[in-house]
């Protein structure tokens, strides 16, 4: 079955995702080299660029699904006037796995698109058009003491409750000069608990700096988080350049446990504490 990398309206929650009904999702978080642009027609387009990344999802599709996607994307084999062209590229998951996949890139008309999407993520780009944002904190950003020390606690006053993220595991897989940092790794058998805040764009600016987005330490991502048995799209941050798990500093580990103890389940907190203790 062909692999297809989707980065726009074919993604989960988007209007054309039904074209992938029944198609197995190999990676829900993956990337390939390219630049992403807004066509101003309600959908994005990718242009080839080896120095940047775009983010999306990888699916195994049937031949009939592939033909339907070809029609959606305005692609016809051998035509010189396609809306999108079709090519095969290497796609990488967040843990370094690589798969060859079909992707649809800018045809002659769409190559004129100039409104670049800096994050390389269509879901993030659209989500941030909202006035109010839901943010999922799962590491030291759960610790209100850190917010107070930074003088930004007012940005995080609207706590919506405990969030549960399915399909990921908690890992100290962001290795830094001062120990391992909390990260999300895609894993269909695991869940991650955290705090969900309703925040402003001003708070998000602080988080982008704290998470080192410009330095490519973490990237923003939109994930489905359950709050009080309802699922919401929520922004969070996922580590780049993952490594083997590294021991966190005592202070950093304390911030995570202290931040989660008022809201997260005892079983989950015990699991995180056991992970920390195994480094000793």
Residue at a domain's end among 86, 101, 120: 120
Q: What is the mean pLDDT of residues 177-206?
A: 96
Among 198, 260, 200, smallest CA distance to 232 is for 198
Residue at a domain's end among 120, 143, 161: 120
% of the chain with per-residue pLDDT over 70: 100
Q: Is 167 left (phi over 0), alpha (psi -120 to 50) or beta?
A: left
User: 95 falls in which pLDDT band (50, 70, 90)?
Assistant: confident
Give me the pLDDT at residue 103, please.
Answer: 98
Give me the pLDDT at residue 209, please.
Answer: 96
105-151 tens-digit pLDDT: 999 999 999 999 999 999 999 999 998 899 999 999 999 999 999 99
Residue at a domain's end among 95, 120, 145: 120
Same domain assignment for residues 264 and 148: yes
Give yes or no for residue 66 having a pLDDT over 90: yes
Q: What is the mean pLDDT of residues 170-179?
A: 94
Domain range for 40: 3-120
Give me the pLDDT at residue 153, please.
Answer: 95
205 phi and psi angles, rounded to 5 deg: -60, -40
Same domain assignment for residues 115 and 146: no
193 in Cβ contact with 163 (< 8 Å): yes
Is 35 part of any domain? yes
Q: What is the mean pLDDT of residues 89-107?
A: 93
Same domain assignment for residues 112 and 150: no
Among 7, 1, 4, smallest CA distance to 222 is for 7
Long-range (24+ apart) CB contacts under 8 A made by 241-244 are: 241/174, 241/216, 242/94, 242/95, 242/96, 242/171, 242/173, 242/174, 242/183, 242/185, 243/173, 243/174, 243/175, 244/173, 244/175
Give me the pLDDT at residue 180, please.
Answer: 96
Residue pointed to by tokens 């798969």: 99
User: 96 falls in which pLDDT band (50, 70, 90)?
Assistant: confident
Same domain assignment for residues 195 and 244: yes
Same domain assignment for residues 259 and 227: yes
Give yes or no for residue 31 having a pLDDT over 90: yes
Give me the pLDDT at residue 219, please.
Answer: 97
Cα dihedral sign, 250-253-259-262:
negative
Give yes or no for residue 270 having a pLDDT over 90: yes
Give me the pLDDT at residue 207, please.
Answer: 97
143 in Cβ contact with 259 (< 8 Å): yes
Same domain assignment for residues 35 and 112: yes
Same domain assignment for residues 26 and 65: yes
232-252 tens-digit pLDDT: 999 999 999 899 999 999 999
Is 142 part of any domain? yes
Pairing of strands 53-60, 133-137: unpaired
Q: Is 116 left (phi over 0), alpha (psi -120 to 50) or beta?
A: beta
C-alpha to C-alpha distance for 91 and 132, rounded to whole angstroms: 32
Same domain assignment for residues 116 and 144: no
Is 244 part of any domain? yes
Q: What is the mean pLDDT of residues 31-39?
A: 97
Is 125 part of any domain? no
Among 186, 21, 6, 1, smallest CA distance to 89 is for 6
Measuring CA to CA, how many Å separate 111 from each of 29, 42, 46, 206, 210?
26, 16, 9, 34, 35
User: 160 falls in which pLDDT band (50, 70, 90)?
Assistant: very high
Give me the pLDDT at residue 280, please.
Answer: 74
Give me the pLDDT at residue 63, please.
Answer: 97
Same domain assignment for residues 71 and 144: no
The token pair that represents 274 in the structure block: 């056991």
Is 98 part of any domain? yes
Same domain assignment for residues 188 and 245: yes
Same domain assignment for residues 116 and 136: no
Catalytic residue among 211, 245, 250, 255: 211
% of the chain with per-residue pLDDT over 90: 94
Long-range (24+ apart) CB contacts under 8 A made by 61-68 are: 61/1, 61/2, 61/3, 61/4, 61/20, 61/23, 62/1, 62/23, 63/2, 65/19, 65/20, 65/23, 66/2, 66/4, 66/102, 68/19
Give me the pLDDT at residue 143, please.
Answer: 95
Same domain assignment for residues 64 and 33: yes
Q: Residue 158 maps to which CATH number?
A: 3.10.490.10
User: 94 falls in which pLDDT band (50, 70, 90)?
Assistant: confident
> What is the domain count for the chain?
2
Asked if 145 is an active-site residue, the reply is: no
Terminus-to-terminus CA distance in the chain, angstroms?
Answer: 46
């Amino acid at each position: 079955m062909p692999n297809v990398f989707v980065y726009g309206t074919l993604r989960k929650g988007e209007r054309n995702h039904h074209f992938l009904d029944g198609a197995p999702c190999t990676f829900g978080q993956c990337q390939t080299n390219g630049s992403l642009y807004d066509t101003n027609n309600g959908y994005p387009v990718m242009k080839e660029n080896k120095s940047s990344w775009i983010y999306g999802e990888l699916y195994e599709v049937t031949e009939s699904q592939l033909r339907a996607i070809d029609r959606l994307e305005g692609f016809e084999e051998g035509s010189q006037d396609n809306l999108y062209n079709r090519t095969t590229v290497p796609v990488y998951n967040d843990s370094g796995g690589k798969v060859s996949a079909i992707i649809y890139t800018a045809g002659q008309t769409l190559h004129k698109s100039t409104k670049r999407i800096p994050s390389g993520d269509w879901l993030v780009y659209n989500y941030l058009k909202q006035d109010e944002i839901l943010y999922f904190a799962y590491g030291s950003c759960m610790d209100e003491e850190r917010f107070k020390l930074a003088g930004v606690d007012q940005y995080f006053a609207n706590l919506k409750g405990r969030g549960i993220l399915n399909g990921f595991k908690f890992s100290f897989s962001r290795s830094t000069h001062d120990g391992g940092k909390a990260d999300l790794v895609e894993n269909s058998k695991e869940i991650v608990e955290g705090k969900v805040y309703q925040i402003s764009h001003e708070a998000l600016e602080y988080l982008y700096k704290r998470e080192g987005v410009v330095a490519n330490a973490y990237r923003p991502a939109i994930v489905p988080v359950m709050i009080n048995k309802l699922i919401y799209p929520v922004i969070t941050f996922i580590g780049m350049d993952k490594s083997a798990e590294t021991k966190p500093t005592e202070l950093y580990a304390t911030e995570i446990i202290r931040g989660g103890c008022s809201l997260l389940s005892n079983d989950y907190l015990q699991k995180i504490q056991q992970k920390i203790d195994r480094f000793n």
